[in-house]
Amino acid sequence: MTEIMDELKKAIVEGDEDLALEKLEECLNAGEKPAELLEKAVVAGINEAGRLWQENEYFLPDVILSAEAFKAVMAEMGPKLAGADVKSHGTVLIGTVEGDMHDLGKSIVIAMLSSAGYQVHDLGVDVPANTFIEKTKELKPDILGLGAYMSTTMEFMGDIIQRLVDEGIRDQVKVLIGGVPTSAEFAAEIKADAWGKDALDAVEKANQLLG
Amino acid sequence: MADKDTVNIITGGKSKATAKFESGPRAYWLRHSSDEKKWVAVAAQTHDHTMRVARVPAKTFYYEATPFVDAQVAVHSYYGLDDLTLINDVYNFEAEALGQKMIYGKDAMPTIDFRDPLIKKPADLLQLKTPDFKKDGRFPYQMEVFRQSIEIGCNKASFCGPFSLAVGIRSYPLLVRDMRKDPSFYNDLMTFLVDEVLFPYVKAIHDETGIAIMSGADAWAAFPNLSTELIEENVLPWNLRLLQKGAEIGVYAATAGTADYFEERPEKFDADILKKCLELGVRSQCAPVVFMGMGRWQDYPLEPVLEFARELKEKQDKPVMVMAGINARVLRDGPVSEIIRYVKRMIDTFAPEFNLNIFLASIPADTPSAHVHAAVQATHYFGQLPYQFRDEASFKLQERESFAEFMSKIDSL
């Protein structure tokens, strides 16, 4: 890995979005291949942040800043990766259910899933059940990720899963849920396929679901 | 601070009621409420759950003080809770009155639209003004809730802690970036929120209602939302600034929940970090309260908390209060046997040495009533005072009537 690639990785690990974008431009100007940059600097950077989080050296603010830097770099790199040989583990359609505006956890989950090789479509927050259903039909994701952060909104997750059944598409998609008030027991109750206790666990569960 | 005040900080201490009620839940509460401490007290943050149990629409519950207080008192009475905790969507009022965009769902409490923070760039701070606490946002509703609380002997108000309020109008990622990259703006923002919003609010509550004990909610400053270093450097000074300003007018305005230990993964449990969190919590409240809030206390070892509480007790002559949280997921998911064991473990660990209170932390909306009854009954049985160890097998859970049945006979009880 070249020195500038290393600096790009470091900027992502340290959550310095402006510096990361600057280093990305330098790397591209220096002729580094986007696919290689993605793997060795960008993904490696967010994975390193995840490792530090797991080892209690990083806390939520550090991870959020890394995820934001990762997101900014990925937005710049997206068009440049077209046609590149980038391995995809699967597609994930993700959103926070209707009435719920919280997206902090979802942002980290998206960063971690993307870094693990998933193509993630983010529907945002306050997403009505109809949108989840229509987008599931349209995009045919491998996994539907549902987030809720209030005990009054998490119940909508069960409604969405029931809608998947009613529409006859439940067996075409795995449902992974998460969010502060949710639990493995709740996931089982509403017949979700898995529960992610945090972003890293969500990646593990996604890997298991598509194993 | 008096010992009684220490207890009142979190539990919503009782005071003399200022009104008489002939019938209904408030009359029931006043008939059954007592200062006599027969057992370890149990309190709960119930608003989501109350709304569901009492079947009050969100559009009424979070906007009209009388139905809100009636429903809360009724549900507290039904479960036999020892202290009234009339908390609603406490994180929203100040942000909403400042102009923060909110989402008003039909079945849930109002919630901040984090996609659209009020302060998008530092210059936006200059446009903000101290709200009018008599008319802006839902302050009139909240002031009336506080006024009615006093009538039934609950002499305590709530506010949003400085850091959590900053998150509400700036968003968490932007605020974290401010802390790191623009500390000068972060200081300006926090100074405005404490000096121009929260202190005037605290003063307005005191002037309007006479309430002198107020508790700030601060879940955004729980660990690991922030590291202990960030809490100490960027949150604690502002909590103390508000506490100091409140003290100057005779109000105890302490932010609770700052540094609440909430590590999701039991394998990452760290006793040193936990102790630091407990220490920050004590400093934030300027009172010997050991606060165990939302965390996975069913999984964490309790010995570090016990060691911390003992050390705290040795350092001073005031009694140490331990607030033991019962995790919301356990309350919702059960089973009843686990809830009972969890409560008993807290009581057997802390009741022999400390002034213990059990806190049912944010009961989820759809929690089965039997689970809440189990937690309350177990607290009252295993926590009989003076404390004496009681075998688990000796506890018999009493089956209870439905909430509707309870309400149908409330005036005759």
Smallest CA–CA distance, residue A33 to chain B, in Å, is 31
Using the beta-carbon criterion (under 8 Å), do B108 and A65 form an inter-chain contact?
no
pLDDT the model gives residue B317? 81
CATH number, position B243: 3.20.20.210
Binning pLDDT at 50, 70 and 90, where does residue B2 land?
very low
List the domain range (segments joined by +) for residue A124: 90-210
Residues A60, A108, single domain; the answer is no
Best mutation target, B92, B100, B176, to test chain A (most A CBs within 10 A): B176
Whether residue B22 lies within 8 A of chain A, CB to CB, comes out as no
Sign of the alpha-carbon dihedral angle for B161, B163, B166, B167: negative
Residues A89 and B82: their CA atoms lie apart, in Å, by: 53
User: Count of domains in chain B?
Assistant: 1
Residues A30, A103, single domain; the answer is no
Asked if pLDDT for residue B13 goes beyond 90, the answer is no
DSSP states of B289-301: EEEE-SS-TTTS-
Residues A122, A206, single domain; the answer is yes
Residues A168, A204, single domain; the answer is yes
Beta carbons within 8 Å of B245's beta carbon, 6+ residues apart: B194, B195, B199, B202, B253
CATH number, position A133: 3.40.50.280
pLDDT the model gives residue B10? 47
Whether residue A162 lies within 8 A of chain B, CB to CB, comes out as no
For chain A, give the mean pLDDT.
94
Answer with the one of A26, A58, A81 that is the final residue of a domain. Answer: A81
Q: Which two tokens stand for residue A66?
A: 């890394």
Read off the pLDDT of each residue in B2-27 and give the average, rounded to a whole number: 67
Q: Tell me: the pLDDT tens digits for B321-336?
A: 999 999 999 999 999 9
Using the beta-carbon criterion (under 8 Å), do B48 and A150 form an inter-chain contact?
yes
pLDDT the model gives residue B3? 46
Q: Tell me: the pLDDT tens digits for B87-100?
A: 999 999 999 999 99
Q: What is the dihedral of CA B161, B166, B172, B178, to 10 degrees?
A: -130
Asked if pLDDT for residue B399 goes beyond 50, the answer is yes
Q: Which two tokens stand for residue B314?
A: 């040795």
Put simply, whether the predicted model's pTM sits higher than 0.95 gets the answer no
Of A102, A103, A151, the CB nearest to B48: A151
Whether residue B57 lies within 8 A of chain A, CB to CB, comes out as no
Asked if pLDDT for residue A186 goes beyond 60, the answer is yes
Contact list in B for residue A99 (CB cut-off 8 A) is 103, 105-108, 111
Residues A20, A74, single domain; the answer is yes
pLDDT the model gives residue B8? 52
Residues A181 and B311: their CA atoms lie apart, in Å, by: 33
The most confident of the ranges A4-13, A49-58, A82-91, B31-40 is A4-13
pLDDT the model gives residue B20? 81
Contact list in A for residue B113 (CB cut-off 8 A) is 101
Residues A26, A96, single domain; the answer is no
Read off the pLDDT of each residue in B199-204 and give the average, rounded to a whole number: 98
Contact list in B for residue A100 (CB cut-off 8 A) is 108, 111
Q: Judge contact between B397 and B374, C-beta under 8 A.
A: yes
Q: Tell me: the pLDDT tens digits for A62-96?
A: 999 999 999 999 999 987 877 776 678 899 999 99
pLDDT the model gives residue B135? 96
CATH number, position A33: 1.10.1240.10
User: Count of domains in chain A?
Assistant: 2
Whether residue B332 lies within 8 A of chain A, CB to CB, comes out as yes
Residues A73, A105, single domain; the answer is no
Binning pLDDT at 50, 70 and 90, where does residue B341 land?
very high
Asked if pLDDT for residue A189 goes beyond 70, the answer is yes
Residues A95, A182, single domain; the answer is yes
Q: How many CB pairs under 8 A join A and B?
A: 97
Nearest of B213, B198, B141, B365 to residue A100 by alpha carbon: B365
Sheet with B355-360, side-by-side order of all strands: B41-44, B355-360, B321-326, B289-292
Using CB atoms within 10 A of its CB, is residue A18 exposed (0-12), middle (13-18) or buried (19+)? exposed
Nearest of B214, B83, B78, B76 to residue B142 by alpha carbon: B214
This complex has an ipTM of 0.88
Q: Is A207 left (phi over 0), alpha (psi -120 to 50) or beta?
A: alpha
The 8-class DSSP code of residue B384 comes to B
Residues A104, A185, single domain; the answer is yes
pLDDT the model gives residue B383? 98
Residues A180 and B222: their CA atoms lie apart, in Å, by: 13
Residues A12, A62, single domain; the answer is yes
Q: Tell me: the pLDDT tens digits for B269-302?
A: 999 999 999 999 999 999 999 999 999 999 999 9
Answer with the one of A81, A108, A143 that is the final residue of a domain. Answer: A81
Residues A76, A96, single domain; the answer is no
Answer with the one of A26, A53, A81 that is the final residue of a domain. Answer: A81
List the domain range (segments joined by +) for residue B233: 3-412
Q: Say which residue, B279 or A34, is predicted with more confidence.
A: B279
Q: Which of residues 262-281 of B touch A (CB under 8 A)?
A: 264-265, 268, 270, 273
In chain A, the N- to C-terminal Cα span, in Å, equals: 30
